[in-house]
Chain A
Amino acid sequence: METGIRVLLLIAAATLLQGCVVRNWIHHHNEVKAERQAAKDEEARAAQQQDDTDAPPPRVVDPDVERRKITVPKIRSSNVEFGLHYGALSVEDFGTNAVYGADISYHVTEDFYLMGEVGRSQAGRTSFETLGGNVQLLTGAERRFTYYNLALGYNFLPGEAFLGRGTAMPSAFYLLGGIGSVKFAGDDHFAVSFGAGYRLLPSDWFAVHISVQDRVFKSDLLGTSKLTNNIEARIGTSVYF
């Protein structure tokens, strides 16, 4: 009986002790877990700190600004010059008469430009016709002198012209050389022309010209074939656009 009670007490003690041990173990386990968690947190904090040093500082204000967009407008070109001219043309053997026409230029560089021009004049009478009385070498329509010319222009001696005290206008001389055709005396002739001129620009889009050109072509009108020089002196105005 006594032994039975002892055994019972022992069992009870063992159970209690075991419970304590288990309780202690659980407590210990929790502690370890907390420690590990703390270490983990520490690591994470360190990593976070590491990240923080790399990344930009936290933004106080989140800017909501659109980057300014530059739209580049097309820049207008002003290389074309259109002009009208009026002057005097000396048609070899046929006297000097009024000439009028139009020209268009494309300025390629500040030095060179390409010009196309047309013009018309009415030739007079030769001395032979004047002296001979009723002799008519050409009909009225045949006396019409019409030309076109494709030329290269070269600007030189640029400068400024002064008008009084307060006005200065850019100016330049130019040389012209070209090829084209002259319709005269009922025939088309291949013509070479060369000349020089002076351009004055009262404003940046308006110019005044004075020029002289010689139009040379071969003519066999008066029996023999000869080179004729037809000198034209003219004034003109032009606009750039």
Chain B
Amino acid sequence: MLLLAFTAPAVSAAREHLQVFVAEPYLELHTGAGRGYPVFNVVPRGESVDVLYRRTDWFRVRTERGVEGWASQKDMQRAQLADGTAFTFDLGDRAGFTSHRWEVGVFAGNYGGATLVSGYSSFSFNSQLAAELSVGQFLGKFTNGVTGDIGLTHVIVPEWRLSPFLMLGTGLVHITPKATLVVPSDRTDQTAYVGGGVRYYLTRRFFVRGEYKAHEIFTKRNANQQVDEWKLGFAFFF
């Protein structure tokens, strides 16, 4: 018995890649990560594939015979793990819109009358609260500049397709007046903002986001400066 125990194959040893078994009649392998690329191989039911990595909605897999190809997310959903349970993974659908870790997006907008190009990234602590970092460049008739904001975003009802959110944070703004103006020196000031907006789920991992921020710029002059920022853009989550 003891001898048997020692000679038995170490089935529980951790594999480098996840092994999944084909449960449908066959699994199609494409030459590229997209539905338009041709099928060049099929894996019959009962055989296994090693999942190497994932690109968008496609999995790079290696068959028992060593053939590598791309299997679609839709087909892989029907595959099973070695213990017979279903192979589950993050799908990137509406449920993901409600609850996800990361967001990245691009905006075009208006910053105190100047054209604004901006990007942001956020990390969600839960489905409602996220920490957000955004940077932007505004290009105006009289001034150019860059902004950087860090703050918190609270999504009021994350389940809604059109869901409003509130924002609060602080940042820096670097303003470069154009040479023709009377005040020629650049300046960097601290800002604080409060804002709100809405996000609307489009499809897959995409959503549209529109927002307003009311900035209070703490200048070195007697009075603070208020700047309105409006922007609209699209973003995705992962």
Contacts and interface: CB of A to CB of B under 8 A. Distances in A.
A75 interface: yes
A75 B57 contact: no
Contacts of A170: 31-32, 34, 37
Interface in B174-205: 178-179, 204-205
Interface string B22-59: 00000000011111111000000000000111111111
B213 interface: no
A71 B11 CA distance: 12
A110 B234 contact: no
B54 A78 contact: yes
Interface stretch (A38-46, A125-133, A182-190): A182-190
Contact of B11 (A68, A112, A157): A68
A109 B56 contact: yes
B139 interface: yes
Given A168-B31, A190-B115, A204-B60, A108 B206 contact: yes
Contacts of B38: 160
Contacts of A189: 139
Would you call the interface of chain A mostly helix, strand, loop, or mixed? strand
Contacts of B16: 73
Interface in A143-179: 150, 152, 155, 157-160, 168, 170, 172, 179
Interface residues of B, number: 49
A179 B107 CA distance: 9
Interface of B is mostly: loop
A107 B104 CA distance: 12
A111 B119 CA distance: 21
A44 to B, nearest CB: 37
Contact of A158 (B36, B81, B139): B36
A116 B238 CA distance: 18
A15 interface: no
Contacts of A136: none
Nearest to A178: B106
Given A71-B14, A79-B56, A158-B37, A188 B139 contact: yes
B117 interface: yes
Contacts of B205: 108-109
Given A110-B34, A172-B32, 20 more contacts: A68-B82, A70-B81, A71-B14, A73-B16, A75-B51, A75-B54, A77-B55, A79-B238, A106-B236, A108-B205, A108-B236, A109-B57, A110-B33, A110-B56, A155-B34, A170-B34, A188-B144, A189-B139, A190-B115, A204-B68
